[in-house]
């Protein structure tokens, strides 16, 4: 698509660190130094800071070689088409990506090359796990997974020792090649073996979540949505707001989407079915693609998604899909019966109130982040003054 370049430039950013970096002693010291502010954006705390995981949660993508880690990252966050991933080269460096395109989906993903001996004594895995919010372990379901399971066990047990608060998420990946029966069979086998291994080690308390995923359908977006939602502390507030909004507006279902990644960061409490989710993703694609092609004015500052972005699609089953901009990066996508959509004025008024409430949630979050940063800077300056003398904050 001609628009892709512009789209990625506007939203995407990737940092790649040569793996050699860690083999250079001086640099390694910098990296392992407990106070290193490594590659973080301005305004974001260093990741070894005790607060950083709350401010900018880190997601680690791990798994054996060729299990599909880079493909997942590229498809979900860079709009790469699944077929293009066939030409991805094996990753031989750690890639860190800041997904800070939305205040709510503000986190880092670390893609670890499969061939790294992660438990090499020179590799400071403790520091890596300390600030991690979720560890996604990718298992290639089309391959023999015995080795992957032992690697999963090793990774999970080490990570848990360092940081028991990590969410462990297992992606049983590449399921597009499997029949439905086969998928269920694989999932229960992997589930059983992984949990048996943990029970044998006396670690039943470690909870693993399993997802069947493929980059060739929406399952990878849905799985990522669930992983990200667990890292959003405001999730109950958002769900509550959505519940109030839909019940007062005659809406069947509503999703709050991060437009760039098509991750839904919250929905109302009614169950989500895959088809509905897929329709939302398709609608976002249509809106962004049409805007990119026909909506951009040509000046550099234009983005395909702004305050004016909205769309209405009438489906042939008397349902209307309604998309509206909520914040710079979030969109609300609703499913409404045609007869309820006749009261569009009421829906729009309620939407206005909903949007204001979301903005307030954002404001509180920003304030909390600012305060944490300030607090951490004060602590840091106290620690760094030599001979026990202390700096006093102004």
Ligand X SMILES: Nc1nc2c(ncn2[C@@H]2O[C@H](COP(=O)(O)OP(=O)(O)OP(=O)(O)O)[C@@H](O)[C@H]2O)c(=O)[nH]1
Instruction: By CB under 6 A, name the binding residues for ligand X.
Output: 63, 65-71, 85-86, 88, 90-91, 113-114, 173-174, 176-177, 214-216
How far apart are the C-alpha atoms of 284 and 257, rounded to whole Å?
A: 9
Q: For residues 38 and 216, which CB has a smaller minimum distance to ligand X in the complex?
A: 216
Instruction: Report the nearest approach of ligand X to the CB of residue 326 (Å).
Output: 31
How far apart are the C-alpha atoms of 144 and 142, rounded to whole Å?
A: 7
Q: For residues 68 and 304, which CB has a smaller minimum distance to ligand X in the complex?
A: 68
Q: For residues 10 and 116, which CB has a smaller minimum distance to ligand X in the complex?
A: 116
Instruction: Report the nearest approach of ligand X to the CB of residue 173 (Å).
Output: 6
DSSP string covering 257-319: EETTTTEEEEE-SSPP-HHHHHHHHHHHHHHHHHIIIII--SSTT--SS-TT-EEEEE-TTSE
The number of C-alpha atoms within 13 Å of 248 and in the hemisphere containing its C-beta is 16
Instruction: Report the nearest approach of ligand X to the CB of residue 177 (Å).
Output: 5
Pull the structure tokens for residue 195: 């949990």
Instruction: Report the nearest approach of ligand X to the CB of residue 244 (Å).
Output: 38
Q: Cα 352 from chain centroid?
A: 27
Instruction: Report the nearest approach of ligand X to the CB of residue 80 (Å).
Output: 10
Indicate the DSSP class of residue 20.
Answer: G
Query: Pairing between strand 167-173 and 208-212?
Result: parallel
Provide, for the chain, the percentages of residues in helix, strand and coil under a 3-state DSSP scheme, each rounded to the nearest 5. 45, 20, 35
Instruction: Report the nearest approach of ligand X to the CB of residue 6 (Å).
Output: 25
Instruction: Report the nearest approach of ligand X to the CB of residue 213 (Å).
Output: 7
Instruction: Report the nearest approach of ligand X to the CB of residue 195 (Å).
Output: 24
The number of C-alpha atoms within 13 Å of 207 and in the hemisphere containing its C-beta is 5
Q: For residues 85 and 303, which CB has a smaller minimum distance to ligand X in the complex?
A: 85
Q: For residues 111 and 258, which CB has a smaller minimum distance to ligand X in the complex?
A: 111
Q: For residues 20 and 204, which CB has a smaller minimum distance to ligand X in the complex?
A: 20
Q: For residues 167 and 214, which CB has a smaller minimum distance to ligand X in the complex?
A: 214
Q: For residues 115 and 383, which CB has a smaller minimum distance to ligand X in the complex?
A: 115
Which H or E element spans position 322? strand 319-325
Q: Cα 95 from chain centroid?
A: 15
Quick one: residue 200, left, alpha or beta (phi over 0 = left, psi -120 to 50 = alpha)?
A: alpha
Query: Pairing between strand 107-111 and 167-173?
Result: unpaired
Pull the structure tokens for residue 234: 């405001």
How far apart are the C-alpha atoms of 337 and 203, rounded to whole Å?
A: 49
Q: Which of 325, 303, 319, 190 is nearest to 256 (CA)?
A: 325
Q: For residues 274 and 286, which CB has a smaller minimum distance to ligand X in the complex?
A: 274
Instruction: Report the nearest approach of ligand X to the CB of residue 85 (Å).
Output: 4
Instruction: Report the nearest approach of ligand X to the CB of residue 147 (Å).
Output: 14
DSSP string covering 210-238: EEE--TTSTHHHHHHHHHHHTT-TTHHHH
Q: For residues 70 and 369, which CB has a smaller minimum distance to ligand X in the complex?
A: 70
């Amino acid at each position: 698509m001609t628009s892709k370049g512009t789209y990625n430039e506007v939203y995407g950013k990737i940092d790649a660190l040569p793996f050699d970096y860690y083999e250079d002693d001086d640099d390694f010291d910098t990296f392992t130094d407990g106070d290193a502010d490594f590659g973080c954006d301005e305004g974001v705390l260093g990741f070894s800071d005790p607060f950083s995981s709350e401010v900018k949660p880190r997601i680690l993508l791990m798994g054996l070689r060729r299990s599909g880690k880079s493909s997942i990252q590229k498809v979900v966050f860079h709009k790469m088409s699944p077929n293009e991933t066939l030409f991805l080269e094996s990753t031989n460096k750690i890639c860190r990506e800041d997904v800070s395109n939305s205040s709510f989906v503000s986190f880092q993903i670390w893609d670890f090359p499969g061939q790294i001996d992660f438990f090499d004594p020179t590799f400071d895995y403790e520091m890596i796990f300390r600030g991690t919010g979720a560890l996604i372990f990718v298992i290639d379901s089309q391959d023999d997974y015995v080795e992957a399971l032992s690697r999963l066990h090793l990774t999970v047990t080490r990570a848990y020792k360092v940081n028991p608060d990590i969410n462990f998420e297992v992606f049983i990946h590449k399921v597009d090649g499997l029949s439905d029966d086969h998928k269920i069979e694989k999932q229960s086998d992997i589930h059983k073996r992984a949990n048996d291994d943990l029970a044998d080690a006396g670690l039943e308390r470690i909870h693993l979540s399993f997802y069947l995923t493929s980059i060739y359908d929406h399952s990878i977006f849905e799985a990522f949505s669930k992983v990200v939602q667990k890292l959003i502390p405001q999730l109950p507030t958002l769900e509550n707001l959505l519940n109030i909004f839909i019940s007062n507006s005659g809406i069947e279902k509503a999703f709050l989407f991060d437009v760039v990644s098509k991750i839904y960061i919250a929905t109302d409490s009614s169950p989500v079915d895959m088809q509905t989710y897929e329709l939302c993703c398709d609608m976002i694609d249509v809106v962004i693609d049409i805007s990119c092609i026909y909506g951009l004015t040509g000046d550099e500052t234009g983005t395909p998604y702004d305050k004016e972005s909205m769309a209405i699609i009438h489906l042939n089953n008397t349902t209307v899909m309604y998309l509206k901009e909520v914040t710079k990066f979030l969109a609300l996508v609703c499913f409404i019966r045609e007869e309820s959509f006749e009261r569009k004025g009421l829906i729009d008024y309620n939407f206005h109130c909903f949007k204001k409430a979301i903005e307030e949630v954002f404001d509180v979050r920003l304030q909390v982040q600012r305060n944490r940063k300030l607090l951490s800077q004060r602590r840091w300056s106290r620690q760094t003054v030599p001979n026990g003398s202390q700096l006093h904050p102004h």
